[in-house]
Every structure is written in structure tokens, then in C-alpha cells.
Amino acid sequence: MARRSPRVAAAAMAVAAAAVALTPPPPLGVVAGGALPPPTPPSGIPQVLLTAATAPIPVFSHPAIGAPLQWRTLSAIGMPWFDCLGVYARDDRRFTTWDGAPVRRAPPAARTAEQWGLCAATAMAAAFDHIYGGGTSAPVYAATAAAGYTLPDLNDTACARGPDPSDAGCVGLAAVRRYINGTLDRDGMNADGRAGLPTGAPPRPYLDTRTGYAPVNGPAAGVTALTRWAPLVQDALGFGTYTAQTVAMAQTSLAAPLLVPRRRLWRLRLRPPYRSPHAYAPGFVCGAGAADPDRLCDAARAVVAAGAHLTPGRRTLIRWFDRPAASIADLAFRMLTGGGAPLADYVVAELAINAFAWDATVQVWAEKLRHDAARPATLIPSILRHTPAGAAFTPAVPPPPTPDYPSAVAAYCHGIAHILRALGGGALNLTIPLTEGQVGDGLPAAAEAISFDSLESLATACGESRVWGGLAFPAAVDAGRALGLAVAKEVLRTVACRAPGTPGLPPCERGEGGGGSP
């Protein structure tokens, strides 16, 4: 999935820019991203949050941080941000907490954007510290202190008496502590790495001890089931240090969703991508006369053709969409900078997008493991090995270490586009300036803007970019789109009950979309 990540909502584009500058260069052969553009001076964002979000947090930008951890982090920021909104929102709308509990509002005089910003900045810094280790947010505390703001941190004892709406920092800290205790520490991701290990053994953070998933194909066993996922073997440094992929964070498939109850996610199960997997012998080759009931060869040729003559423009899009947490998800911020949306609507959009992205990740991972489909990177060089283009087939960017079907990126793009459209983002300016080298690999070669007619066409291009890049088969993109849209609709039904009266949301149906704590 996205290899460099940072989106802390918005101004966080700048977190990325700074973080890239501070991160040690990645090993040879690993693609580094370029710098991201400086933040647009935003209209409605409180100064304290802007200061906090533009401080560098290098760890979050590491290329190895995959989609589950990115979205887990962004949800740990977006959910407390919404809780802060309930306390400090100025308008007449009443918000619950992200998970539906009543909120104690601040007195009217204290309900300002600046107070919300203090609450949100505190929650953001503490969420980073909790997930990546105390000290991660030191640059945030330094930058905000230099600007005259005092944010309490997770070690703070001054907030011990509990949240007092007159102290926005303490409210933010309480919101993030509640999220940590009630959600993060119980989400089944094995973040502390102690699951299944004897006392005293060194922890193995995020190790999968739950699913029992093991690939049927492997570097040692070879390919025994042609249509099933096979670990890609890559030369990490270019000097013979070969590593085989392992499926990343398979336990995400069993993790607790945030807003859509698991039973509703399960109703969204997809049909298998291949109906006749047993019709294919491991040595199957296209055009050699063997039956091809699932039309693997058509799909393989379509992917080869789509990637055959990639223009620099398409290469740029492949890379931009490859990091949805830093690209399409950031579009929400444009609701503030150019869209004229009130701060509250923006924070509701962040709730919906981040909760969607996590819940979609849970279901996408479940489906990826259940169908265990091969990616083009391993299947095409096998079944088209008699053709030069097939034998040499290499995706435009390294494929993520997960099975093909459904495409997570397609799910994110279509679901986020749907949410933005529903919440008033239909009028967003979709001309997006990129700086030279912004997406990595020297692309774009000069500063340029990418432009889309509509959120729909942006999401379609995003899905197709997975095929152009040789990352996913078309069926995986179609399935990702269907799943992403379905999860997004479920999320909006629940958000309607958390933020009733928000323009674009349906009325809250009690007992429906009740979601909430796992």
C-alpha cells in the first residue's frame, strides 16, 4: 500500500515534507519519495494545530509502514478530533463522541476553533507517542511550545482530575486515553508484541498470532496452486540480498472495526475471483492448448498491455495513488482551504474518512486472506513466460505484501470519494499541484498539476492505476471498488447518528448504523 504515509489530516502534508528531509536515506533499491509541497496557508485551521501538524515526525514517513498501521494511526487521531469537536463546536449541532457516548460541552464562551485546535493537537501528539513510542512527538511539543502553546503529554499528571472543558489540552488527552484504553489496546493487532510469547521473551510488535495464515506457495515449496498468492522474492539491495515477502499484518482481518459492526461487514463478502482454480496446473502456460476457464490469460495480457507504454503522467498517478493516506485522503483538507466548509464539517469528514479507511482495511484484509489470490507480479511471469513481455514483467512500483483480491487502494479511493461527495466535497477543486519529484522516482520531472473532472473520475483513475502499474488484476480493482463503496455507505449511516444535522448525511435511524465499540 502506501509506502510513505503522512497524513495527519491536512496540514500534515507538511509533516511529510519535513519528515522526508529528516529520514535517513532508504537502502539502495528502495524507492524514496521526494519532498511534498509546503502547506497551503489554510483558512479555517487553528494556528496551534497547524503548528503541531507541520512539526516533523520522521517515523511515520518510513516506507515500510503499510496501510494497516497508517490507518490505525490516522484513526487514533481522527476519532479524538471528533470527540474534541463535541466539546468545542460552536454551532447548534450536537455531536456525540466518535462511538456514540454523550459529550459534556464546554461553556459557550470556550467553544472556539482555537480551543478545538488545542484539544486536537494534544490528541494528535499523544496518539503518535502511544503508537510509535514516547518521544516520537518531541518535535510537536517543541514547535508548539515555541509558539506559546502548552500541550500536556501522556505522562502529564496535571490532567489527573479528568477532563475539564475549560482546559482543552486535558480534554484532548482524555479523549486519546479513552481511545487507547477502549480501542487501540484491544483492537487485536498485537501492537505490544506480547501475544503468544512466554513472559520475558522479547516482544514482537504486530506479529500475527491469530490467523494461522501461511501461503500455499513459497520460495522453498515453489508454486503448488497457480491462482493463489505467492511471496515475491526481491533483491533488497541489488547485491544478492534476496528476501521473500510475508503477508503484512494478517491479523488486521480479525481486528475490531470502528463504526461498522462486524456482522454488517461480513454481509459484504465477495465472490471468489476464480471459479475453477483446480483447472490450472502449476506449470500452466497461456496459448499451449490447456483450458483457461477463468480467463487468466486475458487478464494477464490486459495487465501487460496496460503497462506497456506508460507515460510519465501515468507513472506519476500510479505513485500518487499508491499512497492513498497521503493523497486522496488529504482531499478532505481542501474542503477547508478552498471549499469554504465550516471547521465542524471538515472534522466530521475526517471522522468518516478515517473510520471508513480502518473498517474497510479490516474487511479488505479478511477478503484478501480468504481468497488468497496471486498478484500479477508472480502470476504473469509464470503463465506468460514464453513471451518476452511476460517473462520480463515487473510492476511499476513494488507490490504490497498482500494477496491481490480485492484491491485495497481501489477500495480506499472509491470509498473516500463517495464520502467526500456526500459531505459536500462535490465542489472541491480537483486540480492538485505536485512539486518536482514529489511522488518519488523523480516524478513528476517538473512541478505540475494533476487534474480530475470529478471525484468519481479521480476514483476511477485511482483504481485503474493499479492495473497500469501491474499491481492488481482488473477483477481485484472492481471488487475493491464495490467493497469500498459498500463500507463507505455503512459508515455514513453510522456517522449520521454521531453528527446529526451535518449537511449531506441522512437522518439518524436509531438502532441502525449503531456501530460503535467492538
Ligand X SMILES: *[C@@H]1O[C@H](CO)[C@@H](O)[C@H](O)[C@H]1NC(C)=O
- What residues make contact with ligand X under the rule CB under 6 A? 129, 134-135, 153-155, 181-182, 429, 431, 433, 449
- Give me the least distance between CB of 359 and ligand X, in Å please: 20
Name the DSSP class of 222: B
- Give me the least distance between CB of 122 and ligand X, in Å please: 11
- Give me the least distance between CB of 155 and ligand X, in Å please: 4
What are the φ/ψ torsions at residue 228 (nearest 5 degrees)?
-90, 160
State the chain's maximal CA–CA distance in angstroms: 78
Cell of 480: 475493491
Residue that has been written with the C-alpha cell 497551503 in this structure? 40
- Give me the least distance between CB of 305 and ligand X, in Å please: 33
Choice between 38 and 282, CB closer to ligand X: 38
HSE-up of residue 472 (Cα within 13 Å, Cβ side): 31
User: Across the strands, what pairs with 433?
Assistant: 449
- Give me the least distance between CB of 340 and ligand X, in Å please: 11
Cell of 111: 467553544
Name the DSSP class of 230: -
- Give me the least distance between CB of 7 and ligand X, in Å please: 18
- Give me the least distance between CB of 138 and ligand X, in Å please: 7
What are the φ/ψ torsions at residue 233 (nearest 5 degrees)?
-100, 120
Measured CA to CA, the distance from residue 364 to residue 358 in angstroms comes to 10
Residue whose Cβ sits closest to ligand X: 134
Choice between 155 and 311, CB closer to ligand X: 155
Choice between 371 and 421, CB closer to ligand X: 421
With left for phi above 0 and alpha for psi between -120 and 50, is residue 101 left, alpha or beta? beta
Choice between 154 and 225, CB closer to ligand X: 154
SS3 of residue 119 by DSSP: helix
Measured CA to CA, the distance from residue 366 to residue 93 in angstroms comes to 36
- Give me the least distance between CB of 181 and ligand X, in Å please: 4
Cell of 244: 521473500
Compute CA 108 distance to the chain's CA centroid, rounded to the nearest angstrom: 36
Choice between 241 and 431, CB closer to ligand X: 431
- Give me the least distance between CB of 127 and ligand X, in Å please: 11
- Give me the least distance between CB of 422 and ligand X, in Å please: 22
Choice between 84 and 297, CB closer to ligand X: 84
Measured CA to CA, the distance from residue 427 to residue 284 in angstroms comes to 50
Choice between 133 and 293, CB closer to ligand X: 133
Choice between 29 and 340, CB closer to ligand X: 340
**Cβ–Cβ < 8 Å for 400, 407:** no
Rg of the chain in Å (alpha carbons) = 23
Choice between 166 and 429, CB closer to ligand X: 429
Choice between 129 and 350, CB closer to ligand X: 129
348 Cβ partners below 8 Å, 6+ apart? Answer: 82, 85, 423, 495, 499, 502, 505
**Cβ–Cβ < 8 Å for 54, 142:** no
SS3 of residue 112 by DSSP: coil
Measured CA to CA, the distance from residue 318 to residue 336 in angstroms comes to 26
HSE-up of residue 467 (Cα within 13 Å, Cβ side): 19
- Give me the least distance between CB of 134 and ligand X, in Å please: 2
Q: Which residue type sits at 211?
A: T
Choice between 153 and 490, CB closer to ligand X: 153
